Chains A and B, each alone.
Chain A
C-alpha cells in the first residue's frame, strides 16, 4: 500500500491524486499539447497551400510539412494525451496509486526521445514520405527508429495502466465491484493500443532493418496490410478514449449515470472485438486481396463496431437527457438541451464532438468504407475530410473539453480568459466541421489528397477540375484559418492559465467543478413512457441522414464506367 503522503485530495472534486501519477499526467498532457501546437501551425500552412489562390508553400516544403503534420498530430499529440487519460482513469478514478512510477517515467522519456527523433528526421528534409511511409519509398533510418522508440514507450505506458488496474483490484481501492464505465472505456482503448503498437512494431522494425541494409525486400502490399493494423487501429484508440471522455464529461457536468451499464459496456466490448478490422478500409482499392476478405473486414464483421458507435451515440446524450430531466428540465422534447450549459466549454466541446464525430466523421467513414463506394472516394480529399471530422472534430475537441475541466483540478489554477473559453469550442468546432465538409466536397469532385498543385502547371497534359472544386478548396483554406484560431485560443488559454491563472489553493473554489450525482433510475421522466424522447428523436434524425447519404453514394457509383 502506498504512503498516504503521496496522495492529494482535490478539494473541488474529492478525487484522490497519487502525486507521481499526477506529475506524469501533467507531463504527458503538456507534451501532447506541444505537438498539438506544432501540428496546428503546420495544419494552417497546409490549408493555405491547398487554397489555390494562396498556394503558400513550395512543393518540397509542402510534402515535408505534410509528413510532419500527420505524424505530429495523428500519432504524437493523440497518444501523449491518451497516456495522460489512461493514468487519470486508472489512478484518480480508482483511488489507486500508479503501479511502477519509474516505468511510467521510462515510458515518458522514450516517447519524448522517439517523437523528437522522428520529427528531426522529417525536418531534415529527406523523410518526406507522409505518415504512411509506403515502401518502396523510404525515409531516413531514424524516422523509423524514432517511431519504434515512441511505440515502445507507449507500450510501457499501457502496461503501467494494466498493472495499476491489477493492484487497485488487489488493494480494493474502489470497492469490490467492477471498474467505472470511464475506466472500462479507457481499458478498451488500452487493449486496442497494444494491438496497434504490436502491428506497428511488426512492420516498422523490418522496414528499419531494410533501410539500413539487413533485409533486401519489403513487400509493398504486406507493408500496407500490417501498417494499417497500426495506422487505422491507432485511430480506434482515439474513438474508445474520446467516448470514455464523453461519458466522463456527462458525469462531471450533469452528474449523469449511464442509462444502463450493460449496454454501454457491451458497446465497448464490440470495439475490442471488431474495431481493428477497420484497417481493411485502406486496402479496398488494392490488388491481390480477395473480395470476401474486403467485405467482411470493411464491415467490421457485419458492422458490429458501427453498431457499437451508434449505441454510444444514443447512450451518451441519453445519459445527459435523463440527468437533466431529473434536475427538473423535464418539459417537452428538448428543454433538457435548451437549458444545457452552452457557455461551459467542457460541455460545449463534448456536445460538438458528438455531433461532428457522428454526423460528419461517422457517416462518411462508413460510406467510404463500403467496398464498392470506396472506388469513387479512395485517396481523394474526401479521406482527410473524413478523418479530420473524427480525429480533430471528434477526438481533439473532446480532449480539449476534458482539459478545460482537468486543468483547474490538476494545476489548481483558474482559466485566465473565461469569456474567450465560452466560444472557443464553437470557433474550433465550426472551423473543423466546415473544413471536413468542404474537403469531402472537393474529394467528391475528384480532387486528390496529398497533392501540391491540382492545376498541373508544367505537366505534359492538363486537367481542369470543375470551378466548384476550386471554390471548395478556398472554403477549406478559410475554415482552416477559423479552426486554427480556435485551436490557438485553446492553447493560449491552457498554457496561460497553467502559468498565470489565479491560484485556487487547496480549498474548495466558489464555482463547483463537479455536479451532484443524480438519483438512479429513469422513473417519472420523459414523455409517454419514453424516458429520453429527445435523444431518441436526435438519433432518428441521425439514422435518416445516414440512410439518405449512404444511398446517394450508391447512386453516384451507379453512374460511373462499368467496372468488373
Chain B
C-alpha cells in the first residue's frame, strides 16, 4: 500500500507490470518526438525566436531609435504626434518600450524582411503583436534583434503584456503592413 512501507523489502528487484513497461516505452517515444520537434523547427520552420541580442543602455538605444525616426518619418499620428516611420525593406528597424508607449509607429511592406530591434528604457515590457499573437519579452539593458517577415497586410497593434505599473493597460503601439 502506498502509505505503508513496501511489501517486499527489496522492492527494486520486483518485476515491472507489463502495462507499465508498455506505457513507459510509448511515453518515452512521445517525449523524444516532442524534443526533436524543436531542433527540427529551427531547421525547417519559419517561426523561430532569434538568439541575437546585445547589451545596451537606455541612452544608446534611444539614440538609435531617434536616428531611424529622424531619417524615415513619413507622417505623424494622434494628438501626441507619434511619428510613423517607413524604413526601406531589409532595414534595421527599432521599437522602444517605455512607460507607457511603444515608440514609434512602424509602416512595413508585406513579404519583406526587417531586422526588428526591441528594448525598454525603463521597466520590463511585453511586446505582443495583435492579432498575430506574437509575444516577446522586452527587458531594459538588452537589445533583442529578430528578423520579421510580415505575411499579411493590415493594421497591427502592439499591446504590452508584461505588467508595467498603473498605465500598463494603456500602453499600445501600432505597426502597419502595406
A residues touching B (Cβ–Cβ < 8 Å)? 59-60, 63, 93, 128, 130, 134, 136-137, 174-183, 219-221, 224, 247-248, 250-252, 255-263, 265, 283-291, 295, 298-299, 302-304, 306-307, 310-311, 314-315, 318-319, 366, 370-372, 375-380, 444-446, 448-454, 456, 458-463, 465-466, 517, 520, 522, 529-532, 535-536, 539, 543, 546-547, 550, 554, 557-558, 560-564
Contacts and interface: CB of A to CB of B under 8 A. Distances in A.
Contacts of A178: 5-6, 9, 11
Given A314-B19, A375-B135, 9 more contacts: A93-B4, A183-B3, A263-B24, A444-B133, A453-B169, A460-B170, A463-B130, A463-B172, A522-B17
Contacts of B6: 177-178, 180-181, 261
Interface in B155-178: 157, 159-166, 168-174
Contacts of B161: 378-380, 448-451
Contacts of B150: 561
8 contacts: A180-B1, A220-B140, A261-B14, A285-B137, A372-B45, A379-B135, A463-B172, A563-B134
Given A379-B126, A563-B46, A263 B20 contact: yes
Contacts of B138: 287
Interface in B103-140: 113, 118, 122-124, 126, 128-140
A369 B96 CA distance: 27
A251 B173 CA distance: 56
Nearest to A181: B2
Contact of A247 (B2, B136, B163, B172): B2
B35 A259 contact: no
A131 B151 CA distance: 37
Contacts of A546: 30
A64 to B, nearest CB: 10
Given A178-B11, A221-B141, A287-B53, A446 B130 contact: yes
Given A380-B133, A531-B19, A561 B151 contact: yes
Given A307-B31, A561-B151, A221 B133 contact: no
B: contact size bracket? 35 or more
A257 B4 CA distance: 9
B23 A311 contact: yes
B12 A561 contact: no
Contacts of A539: 23
Query: Of A59, A128, A250, A260, which is in contact with the most chain B CB atoms at under 10 Å from its CB?
Result: A260
Given A306-B31, A456-B169, A134 B124 contact: yes
Given A221-B139, A543-B30, A563-B148, A250 B2 contact: yes
A306 B28 CA distance: 9
A459 B170 CA distance: 5
B176 to A, nearest CB: 11
Nearest to B56: A287
Contacts of B133: 376, 380, 444-446, 560
A448 B38 CA distance: 25
A521 B114 CA distance: 64
Given A263-B17, A375-B136, A370 B80 contact: no
A130 B140 CA distance: 18
